[in-house]
Structure 1
Amino acid sequence: MAKQVVLTGNYAAAEAAALCRPEVIAAYPITPQSSIVERLSEKVYNGELDAEMIQVECEHSAMSAVQGAAAGGGRVFTATAAQGLALMYEPYFRMSTLRLPMVMALATRKMTSPETVWSGQQDAMSVREAGWIQIFCESNQEIVDMIIEAYRLAEDPRIRIPVNVCFDGFYSSHLTEGVWLPDQAEVDAFLPDPRMSLPALLNPDHPLSLDPLTAGPILMKYRKDHLEAMTRVLPVLEEIDAAFGKQFGRSYGGGIEAYRTDDADLVLITIAGMSGTAKDAVDLAREHGIHAGLIRLRVTRPFPARQIAAALRGKKAFSVVDRSVCFGWNQGPMHMEVKAALADQSARFSHFSTIGGLGGADISLAELGQVIDKLEEVKDEPREYPVHWLLKD
C-alpha cells in the first residue's frame, strides 16, 4: 500500500530508485547529489535492497561500472552533478550511443569557474547533445514518479536510450516535501521484468566484440537509428505516463505542461523548480488583468518542438527563463531552442531570453512578475529584445 512520507528530493530519488530494484549501483559522492547514493548504500547495507553497491574512485569509473553491468543485462543506477558529470563524459556518451538503457539522477548544479557548488542547470544543458533523454522535475513527487517512469521508458524496445531525471540542486535536492511512495508490488507490476527487457549483450556463451572500431557507413546507421528512436520518445512517454496515471493516480503528460495558456497573450517558459513560483506570478498577473500563461519544459531531449509551437500558436509574446547560459549566443540555451521550434511559423512574436538563478541565486516571485510586466509592455511590437538578466542590486 502506498504511504505518504516527507523527504528531500535526493531521498525521494533514492527511494524511487530502490523501488525499481537496480541490480548494480556505482557511485562517487559529489555535492549536491551525495545523499542519493548514501541513502541507497544504507539500504544495501541494511538488507533492504538486493543490489551490488560499487564504491568507485571517480565518476568516470561510476559510469564505466554501470555501463558494463548494463551490457551484461543488469538494471543499473547512479547519480551525479556538475564536475562529476563532466568527468564521466566519455563513458556517458558511450552509454547512450551503445543504446544501453539506464536511469541516472542529476541534481543540477552550476559549472565552475568561478568556483561554486550551488544550483544551476549548466551541467545538464552542457551535455544535451550526448544522446541521453533529459526529463526535468518540478517537485519531489515528480522525482519519485519520473524515476519509475524513466526505467520503463529507457527499457522499452522501441527506445533503448538512457534517461537523466534532472532536478534543481539544493532547492529540490535538499528541501523537503510530502510525497507518496508507491508499494513495491505496484512498482514491480508497472515495470517490465529486466530479464525480458534487458537482453545481455555480454554473454560468455555467445562472445562478441562490444564497441569495436566502426567504419563511417556503419556508424552513420547507428546515429540514424538513434535519432529515429529519439523521435519516438515523446509519444511513448505519453503512453507510459497514461499507464502510470491509471495505476497510481498521478500523471504529468509528455514534453510540456501548459498552465493557463488557452486565452493567454504572453507566456513564460520555465524549467524545473522555478515553475511553481512562475505559476504564482501568472496568477498574480491575471488578477491585474494581464493575460499571462506558462509552459513548463518537462523534457529537453528530445526537444518538444511541435508541442511548443502548438502551445504558442496565436500568442503575442514569450520569454524563456533559463538557469544556464549559451556561450556565444548571449542568451539562454532553451530560449535558443524555442526560437528554433518556431522557425517555420509565419506568426511573429515579441520575445526575449531571461537568465537568472545561476550559482544558487533565487528566482523570486517579484522578478518573474517583472518579466511578465516587460512582456506586457512589448507584446504589440514583435521582435527579439535584448537578454534580460535577473541580477541583484
Structure 2
Amino acid sequence: MPTKVIALTGNQAAAEAMRQINFDVAAVYPISPQTELMGFFAEYVANGEVDTDMVAVEGEHSAMAACIGAAAAGARVITASAGPGIAYMVENLYIASGMRLPIVLIDVNRALSAPLSIHCDHADSMLTRDSSWISIFSENAQEAYHNLIMSVKIAEKAMFPVIVNYDGYIVSHSIENVEVLDDETVRNFVGPSGIHRIPYPLLDVSKPVTYGATAQPDYYTECKYQQHVDFLKVYDIFREVAQEFESISGKYYDFIEEYMTDDAEYIGISMGSSFGTLKDAVNALRAQDRKVGAIKIRLYRPFPVKEVARALSNAKGVAVFDRADSFDGIGGPLFKDIASAVFHNQNRPLIHNFIYGLGGREIHEEEFMRAFDRVERLEKGVESRDYLVEYLQARA
C-alpha cells in the first residue's frame, strides 16, 4: 500500500490519523500535554479537510458526556485528555463502557497531583484499568498512529470503547520519522460512518430504545455478566483487526512484543516509551553473555494472560517495571497483573517490582541493568527482600 515517511511528533501523528479517519464528532478540552493534539486537528477542521463536528466543552467530564451522547446517536466519536483530565472523566468512562459505545479516547499519559506535574507517568491510565475500556499502549509516534487507526475498528467490532495511550512529552512532543498510509487506504480500512454502525442507535426512530436505564438488584448482575463475557471476546477481535491491519501496513501488532526471550533466564517487562531503553539494557547485558530478555505489554486491557504466562514459562527471574505505584504494600498495577498471569505456571519465576519514571523522570539503560542485577541476586539467594516492590530511581 502507498506510504510516505514524515517527521512528526506523537501528537501530530495522532492528529494525522484523526484526519484520515474523519471522525463525526470530536469533543475537546485543553490539558497539557494533550492540548496541541487537538490544536493540530482544529487546523484540519478549520481548513475543511474533515467533516468533523468539533465540540468545545467546559471540562473533561463534559467531553466524555458529549461523546456518550454522540456515540449513542450513531456517530463515530473521539476525545483526548491527560492526567487530571482523565481523573475528571472517570465516572463517565464507566457509563460509556456499560452502554457498550465504541468511543475512542487518546490518553497522553501524565502524572497526577499532588505535587503538581505535567510530565509523564502511567497513573492516569491506571485509573481506567477496571473500567471495561480496551487499553492499548504505544511505544512511539509510529505505534500511536497505527494504534489509533486500529482502535476504531476494534471498538466497533467489540462494541467497547478504546483508550490509546502514549507517553506525554516523551512521545507526544518528540519528533521522529513516521510512515503514514495514504488517506484512501485508511478510510477503506475503518469503513464508512453512519448510525447503522451500532445495533441500536438513538436516531433510528423505527427501533426506539432507552439508554441510561436503571437496573435494580434483580438485573444488575446479569448486565455486568454479559459485559464480562463480551469483554473476553476482545482478544479474538483485537487479533483479527491486527491481521487485517497487517495486510495494509506490513506491520503486525500482537498483544505483547518479545525481545530475546527464547533462551532468557531473566526478563524485564515494561509498557510505553521506555521499552526502547529496556532493549538497550538487554543488548548491553547480552554482550556480557547474560541470558536476559524483554517484553513489552501492548494490549493492557483485557490483559494478555496466556501470552505472558507462555513467555515467562522458562524464566528464573522477572523484573516488572511500573510507571505508577498502587501504594498498597504489594506492588504496582502491572506487577500484580504479571504475578497473576504466571500463578498457574508449573514454573513460577521470582518476580520483583520496580517503580520508575514517575513525574517524567528519565530512565537510563544503566538503571535497567541494575534492576536485572538485583533480580538475579534475589533469585540466587545472594540478597533478600522485605517487600516485593522497590523504587528504582529514588535518591537516598
Matched residues in 2 for 1:153 and 1:209: separation? Answer: 25
Greater Cα offset, 231-240 or 91-100 = 231-240
Q: 1:160 aligns to what? A: 159
Matched residues in 2 for 1:76 and 1:374: separation? Answer: 46
> How do 1:1-393 residues align onto structure 2 when only pairs under 5 Å count?
1-156=2-157, 159-195=158-194, 196-203=196-203, 204-253=205-254, 255-381=255-381, 386-393=388-395
Matched residues in 2 for 1:371 and 1:261: separation? Answer: 17
Instruction: Please provide the CA RMSD for this pair.
Output: 1.6
Which runs of no fewer than 5 residues in structure 1 stay unpaired?
Answer: none
Matched residues in 2 for 1:229 and 1:332: separation? Answer: 27
Matched residues in 2 for 1:380 and 1:224: separation? Answer: 44
Matched residues in 1 for 2:307 and 2:330: separation? Answer: 25
Matched residues in 1 for 2:210 and 2:239: separation? Answer: 36
Aligned length: 390
Matched-pair contact (CA < 8 Å) for 1:5–1:178:
yes
Give the secondary structure class of the aligned counterpart of 2:232.
Answer: helix
Q: Offset at 1:200?
A: 4.9
Matched-pair contact (CA < 8 Å) for 1:75–1:198:
no
Q: Offset at 1:114?
A: 1.3
Q: Offset at 1:199?
A: 4.2
1:188-215 per-residue CA deviation (whole Å, 9 max, x = no partner) reads 2211333342345212444332111112
Q: Which amino acid aligns with 2:35?
A: S
Which runs of no fewer than 5 residues in structure 2 stay unpaired?
Answer: none
TM-score normalised by structure 1 residue count: 0.96
Matched residues in 1 for 2:115 and 2:330: separation? Answer: 18
Q: Offset at 1:330?
A: 4.4
Matched-pair contact (CA < 8 Å) for 1:316–1:380:
no
Matched-pair contact (CA < 8 Å) for 1:290–1:376:
no
Matched residues in 1 for 2:394 and 2:367: separation? Answer: 10
Matched-pair contact (CA < 8 Å) for 1:71–1:201:
yes
TM-score normalised by structure 2 residue count: 0.95
Q: Offset at 1:389?
A: 1.2
Matched residues in 2 for 1:226 and 1:12: separation? Answer: 32
Q: Offset at 1:345?
A: 2.1
Q: Offset at 1:248?
A: 1.4
1:211-262 per-residue CA deviation (whole Å, 9 max, x = no partner) reads 1111223222221121112212122211211111111112221x21111100
Percent identity (aligned): 34
Q: Which amino acid aligns with 1:322?
A: D
Give the secondary structure class of the aligned counterpart of 1:222.
Answer: helix
